[in-house]
A and B are shown apart, each in its own frame.
Chain A
Amino acid sequence: MSSSLLFNVTTFLFLISTILFFAYMASKNSSLGLGASLAAFIGWGVETLAIILRWKESYDMGHGHAPLSNLYESVVFFAWTIILIYGIIELKYKHRIIGAFVLPFALLGMAWAQLGLNSGIEPLVPALQSNWLLYHVITCFLGYAAFAVACAISIMYLIKARSEGENSTSQAGGMISMFPAIRVLDDLNYKSIMIGFPLLTLGIVTGAAWANYAWGTYWSWDPKETWSLIVWFVYAAFLHARITRGWVGKRAAWLSIIGFAATIFCYIGVNLFLSGLHSYGGGR
């Protein structure tokens, strides 16, 4: 069995889960919801195995390293962290329906990785040969995943708030009635960011520590660094906005969505559109 087969199984299970979540939303049949969650969690388990297997495969090829070294591996890992954070929030707060908005993110990631990215296992260029890579990438991506979940929740918030505003009784309104109350969504948005913000902070700190260790400067205003700081500023603004009155609800939801858009730009856009030290795989 190869890791790439398992990654395909994962992608398939995330697809099944997404479809079941939509069916659950349309039908309100709770066993569909249970099936959707199970498919997501089994997919996550399979993906865990796949990642471990890929790790082992890299050792078999003679240049063993953690599977976190290029765009393909990071996208796959991102999908894994998204389901992990979603799982924690579902188990803790029991609002399964959030999965309908989170799973598409994970599915999109896996599908892109499997169909569009080079999945070859390559040896590590000297710049990446450090344990700091592990700490840095893991903390950053867990943070990003929490922001992805917060963004999904914010989208639900905006949909729900709008439908309540219109006071509609259409079919869509029927689906939306399954969403948690907007007060709960607002709170969950905040809670997800409370998970993501400390992790992003740790990610930036470990990145700075690594840069200092490898290059002698903890901060060089490289585009990737700067964008991670931009993301950090946006969520810091979000946290402070909550303390002042009038910034809960819609505006908080928008800030969370903008924050996630900045996160995605930091992760992918910077590599595509801007140049710098971080262009994955290119080394320094």
Chain B
Amino acid sequence: MSTKKRTLTESLWDFFCSLKLSISLLIGLAVTSIIGTVIPQGNIPPEYLQTISEAKFRLYQSLSFFDMYHSWWFMLLLYLLTVNLVACSIKRLPHVWKMVTEPALVLDESLEKSLSLTYDFKASSSELDKLKGFLKAEIGEPVLSERDGVFHLFAQKNPWCRLGVYVVHLSVIVIFIGALIGSFFGYKAFVNIVEGTYIDTVFTAKDSPIKLDFGVHCEKFSVEYYKTGAPKEFKSILTILENGQPVKGFTRIPVIVNDPLTYKGITFYQSSYGQSGDGAVYHFNVALRIGGGSTNFNIKKGERVTLSGGATLELLESTQDVRQYMPEFSGPAAKVSLVMPGKSPESFIVFKNHPEIEEQRRGELVIQYAGADEKLYTGLQVAKDPGVWVVWFGCTLMVIGIGMAFFMSHQRTWIRLGNGRATLAGTANKNPAAFERKFEEMVEKLKTL
């Protein structure tokens, strides 16, 4: 019974040590990852739901296809990959470690047979020091050992690069750990702040509030445009408040896309903006086209005012900068609907910076726009991720490890000296062609030594 159990553990161990499993897992991850790029993830748009049948929807739902990268089966694949990685490393690392720390110092017959690069030449034992110097110059400091009256010199280069593969594998695990730390101890949230106000609570995607132990005040939000009307810069001016007081060094900080603000491990990213509709007042001015006599008046969005003479005016739309819609104009603009007594409504746009446009319009009244004390809000992405440094550490390890594994080569050379003859032998674990050239060079140098 116990032997049977042992073989079960053993075969399980072999299963987790196998490279076939790694390849299957890597391919499996590649193939299943496609699903989530085709099926929408997270908040599913209603238009999408209309395109699939009820049965399909239920099938997808039961397989967690709408949040597949966090589904139990995708996680299972990632955990299997981790176990596979660890098992493989445990199995192989001791052997590699030994090769690095306890290299074969003696060029015996069986070792010599396993090496394809060897060169035999005449040499007396008095030349030992010369050969030592030669190896030192070509490869590295040689180690001398003596066996049965024969001298063996061993020199190597870059032995540590054999560990590169294990550094890469470790880095994968480090990155996973960083991601786990982030998901347990961090959050992603969102907040809108109206200009001139402050907040101390942010909201996660599921709308659950998170209270900050400080406040964020938005002084101003602004958008700049290119001449073409495309947006150039979204900018919020933020101040951090502790107990209602601005914090030194965190006052009036401009935050733009690609330049966030971090305070106490929480980072605020410029993400969106909008008009804070409530309470904004728009300023206009009306005059008779012939006869003048201008009057100022205010209006709110959706409101209809009656002007002297019985005309009514309604504000339809407004913008702080019209350039994004009409690149040839700039500044605030408003679209209004004017109804003269007994006539049908006409709608047109009035520009704060271009009063001449309105002067050229036909009609009895000249309506000018004087801007608004309208407020914008800035939309900020809020993130806290204490695991992110672990992830960067893992990424750095990975790049270093790949560099070690791919671009460095563990070169080993031996010289055996005795009985009037010497043998040079060598091998490298990477780039055999380059090492072969180097070996040939060494042989040429030995001939003239």
Contact = CB atoms under 8 A, between A and B. Distances in A.
A123 B226 contact: yes
Contact of A126 (B33, B41, B232, B260): B232
Contacts of A213: 258, 260
A197 interface: yes
B22 interface: yes
Contacts of B228: 122-123
A127 interface: yes
A219 to B, nearest CB: 8
Nearest to A241: B23
A79 B186 CA distance: 42
A139 B233 CA distance: 27
A246 B27 CA distance: 17
Contacts of A197: 402, 406
B258 A237 contact: no
B258 A244 contact: no
Contacts of A130: 258
B41 A236 contact: no
A194 B431 CA distance: 11
A215 to B, nearest CB: 6
A237 B23 contact: yes
B383 A217 contact: yes
A247 B26 CA distance: 15
A37 B22 CA distance: 40
B315 interface: no
B269 interface: yes
B257 A244 contact: no
A129 B226 contact: no
Contacts of A219: 179
Contacts, number: 112
A216 B257 CA distance: 11
B23 A215 contact: no
B257 A214 contact: yes
A234 B260 CA distance: 35
A264 interface: no
Give the bracket for the number of chain B residues in contact with chain A.
35 or more
Interface string B383-425: 1010010011001001100110010000000000000000000
A141 to B, nearest CB: 18
A233 interface: yes
Nearest to A243: B19
B101 interface: no
A277 to B, nearest CB: 12
Contacts of B392: 209
A215 B22 contact: no
A153 B267 CA distance: 47
B182 to A, nearest CB: 9
A274 interface: yes
B30 interface: yes
Given A122-B230, A127-B258, A237-B30, A218 B391 contact: yes
A216 B188 contact: yes
Interface centre among A214, A219, A262 (most CB of B within 10 A): A214
Interface string B97-126: 000000000000000000000000000000
Interface string B217-258: 000000000111011111000000000000000000000111
B69 interface: yes
Interface in B1-56: 19-20, 22-23, 26-27, 29-30, 33-34, 36-38, 41
Interface centre among B228, B233, B258, B385 (most CB of A within 10 A): B258
Contact of A221 (B69, B233, B382, B399): B69
Nearest to A127: B257
Given A214-B258, A218-B388, A244 B403 contact: no
A129 B270 CA distance: 13
Interface stretch (A19-27, A110-118, A155-163, A222-230): A222-230
A197 to B, nearest CB: 7
Interface residues of A, number: 46
Contacts of A142: none
Interface centre among B38, B227, B230, B399 (most CB of A within 10 A): B230
Contact of B257 (A126, A194, A202): A126
A212 interface: yes
Given A208-B395, A230-B33, A234-B27, A215 B381 contact: yes
A217 B37 contact: no
A130 B26 CA distance: 33
B37 A270 contact: yes
A129 B399 contact: no
B271 interface: yes
Contact of A63 (B179, B226, B391): B226
Given A123-B232, A215-B269, A223-B37, A244 B395 contact: no
Contacts of A174: none
Interface in A237-284: 237, 240-241, 243-244, 247, 262, 270, 274, 283-284
A35 to B, nearest CB: 28
Contacts of A284: 257
B29 A215 contact: no
A38 interface: no
A45 interface: no
Nearest to A259: B30
A126 B324 CA distance: 14
Given A126-B234, A233-B33, A240-B19, A216 B27 contact: no
A201 interface: yes
Interface centre among A129, A283, A284 (most CB of B within 10 A): A129
A230 B27 CA distance: 9
20 contacts: A63-B226, A122-B230, A123-B228, A123-B232, A132-B258, A194-B406, A198-B399, A212-B388, A213-B258, A214-B258, A215-B381, A216-B381, A216-B382, A216-B385, A221-B69, A223-B37, A226-B37, A237-B22, A240-B19, A240-B22
Given A234-B26, A262-B30, A283-B231, 7 more contacts: A63-B226, A126-B256, A201-B399, A208-B391, A237-B22, A270-B37, A284-B257
Interface of B: 19-20, 22-23, 26-27, 29-30, 33-34, 36-38, 41, 69, 179, 188, 226-228, 230-234, 256-258, 260, 267, 269-271, 381-383, 385, 388, 391-392, 395, 398-399, 402-403, 406
